[in-house]
Amino acid sequence: MTTLAWTIGPWEIAAIVVIAVLLFGRRLPEIGKNLGRALVEFKKGLRSVKDEVEETANEAEDATEAGEEDDGQKQ
């Protein structure tokens, strides 16, 4: 059994662009602007999640180090 891999080439991209211009015409800049805003918001969300995870990891690491120091002082 053979499977065919399909990739998007330059002609397919050109056809998609032509269809998008025909369908959306004047609204295309507005759609692009909204898509850009959505992408920026998505990146901000990812950055805040990443920062929160790093902060939690640092707090856990600090707590572990503090626990090891306490164990060393007791012995």
Q: Is residue 38 part of a domain?
A: yes
Per-residue confidence (pLDDT) for residue 41, from 0 to 100: 97
**Is 30 a member of any domain?**
yes
42, amino acid identity: F
Q: Is residue 16 part of a domain?
A: no
Q: What angle do CA 45, 46, 51 make, to 5 degrees?
A: 100
Q: pLDDT per residue over 1-54, tens digit each?
A: 566 667 888 999 999 999 988 988 888 889 889 999 999 999 999 999 999 999
| 52 assigned to some structural domain | yes
| 56 assigned to some structural domain | yes
- Who's near 20: CB < 8 A, 6+ residues apart? 28
pLDDT at 18: 92
Number of domain units in the chain: 1
Tell me what pLDDT residue 56 has.
92
User: Is the residue at 60 inside a domain?
Assistant: yes
pLDDT greater than 90 at residue 66: no
Specify the pLDDT at position 74.
Answer: 54
Q: Residue 55's domain spans which residues?
A: 26-67
**Does residue 50 belong to any structural domain of this protein?**
yes
24-36 confidence digits (pLDDT tens): 888 888 988 999 9
